[in-house]
Amino acid sequence: MSANDAVLIEDHGAKWVVRLNMPERRNALGRDVVAGITRAAEQAGRSKVLRAVVLCGAGDKAFCAGADLKERQSLTPDEVRVFVGQMNFAFRSIERSPKVWIAALHGACLGGGLELSLCADLRVAQRDAILGLPEVRLGILPGAGGTQRLPRLIGVARAKELILTGSRITADHALALGVVNRVADDHEAAAHALADEVGLAAPISVMQAKRAVDEGYDLHLEAGLAWERACYEVTIPTKDRLEGLAAFAEKRPPRFQGE
């Protein structure tokens, strides 16, 4: 299966791999890649069996080198505006996906590439990964959510250091800042391991927990707690909740059906 030639999908049932596939351009975000991301997110959302997606890049040099600077040179200012809108739409469709997305980062993870990974639920970096938001060194600023998502993830001061200097950091530094969840020798294997763990949990619980965090994060605590109750409520009538209790009582692993 493929979203298009620029973005490939490997379907392993409960787990998919979505791979940016323009290694000769270091998987830079051009029109085809962005359209492929949107399509992959739509396809993922429709799958009844899919639980978690590993998002990664082809080739050994980069997860994604950010905006396609070659394509960008040929765009008019109005075309740039339209394209940035499409990029934001594509990224948001990952963030709002009912599935769990795990970004597996290696090599260059710069600009829009880092911003894309910030839309995933979890990030795993290979030791060679270099992360950064170099946009201010290119006469622009992070325009695919970086100025909004990075401060929410790691705090304003830490985010500003990266955003205002455009500096590049190592995987270990990114781990210390909280940009990535894990550093691993093999980023894809580590992402797969996380995806498999997600696959063991109750599907409705995971989906509702993601909504509880994502849509509750910016709320006042009282409103956030009410939102958490609303998400919890969805799990109460499920068969999987009863299965979880039965499995505990019978000292066996649960067999969740997503119902």
Q: Among all chains, which residue has been given the structure tokens 């795990």? A: 102
Q: Tell me the catalytic residues.
A: 67, 112, 115, 135
Q: Which is nearer to ligand COA, 25 or 51 (CB)?
A: 25
Contact status: 22 vs ligand COA (CB under 6 A): no
Bridge-based pairing of strands 108-110 and 62-64 is parallel
How many residues interact with ligand COA (rule CB under 6 A)?
18
Half-sphere exposure of 184 (CA within 13 A, CB side): 19
Q: Among all chains, which residue has been given the structure tokens 């830490």? A: 158
Phi, psi of 23 (to 5 degrees): -60, -30
Residue of 221, 180, 206 lying closest to 258 (CA atoms): 206
CB-based burial label for 159 (10 Å; 0-12, 13-18, 19+)? buried
Contact 62, 25 (CB under 8 A): no
Q: How far is the CB of 236 from ligand COA (least distance, A)?
A: 46
Residues in the chain, overall count: 259
Contact status: 145 vs ligand COA (CB under 6 A): no
Q: What is the rounded distance in angstroms from the CA atom of residue 255 to the CA atom of residue 247?
A: 8
| From 108-116, 186-194, 221-229, 241-249, span contacting ligand COA (CB under 6 A) | 108-116
Contact status: 171 vs ligand COA (CB under 6 A): no
Q: Which is nearer to ligand COA, 146 or 203 (CB)?
A: 146
Contact pick of 104, 110, 122, 175 for ligand COA (by CB under 6 A): 110
Q: How far is the CB of 190 from ligand COA (least distance, A)?
A: 22
Q: Which residues pair with 60 in a beta bridge?
A: none
Q: Which of residues 47-106 bind ligand COA (CB under 6 A)?
A: 61-62, 65-70
Site string for ligand COA, 191-220 (x = CB under 6 A): ------------------------------
Q: One-letter amino acid identity for 184?
A: A
| From 6-14, 21-29, 98-106, 212-220, span contacting ligand COA (CB under 6 A) | 21-29
Q: How far is the CB of 62 from ligand COA (least distance, A)?
A: 5
Contact 175, 159 (CB under 8 A): no
Contact 63, 111 (CB under 8 A): no
Q: Which is nearer to ligand COA, 129 or 206 (CB)?
A: 129
Q: How far is the CB of 90 from ligand COA (least distance, A)?
A: 15
Contact status: 138 vs ligand COA (CB under 6 A): yes
Q: Which residues bind ligand COA (CB under 6 A)?
A: 25-26, 28, 61-62, 65-70, 108, 110-112, 134-135, 138
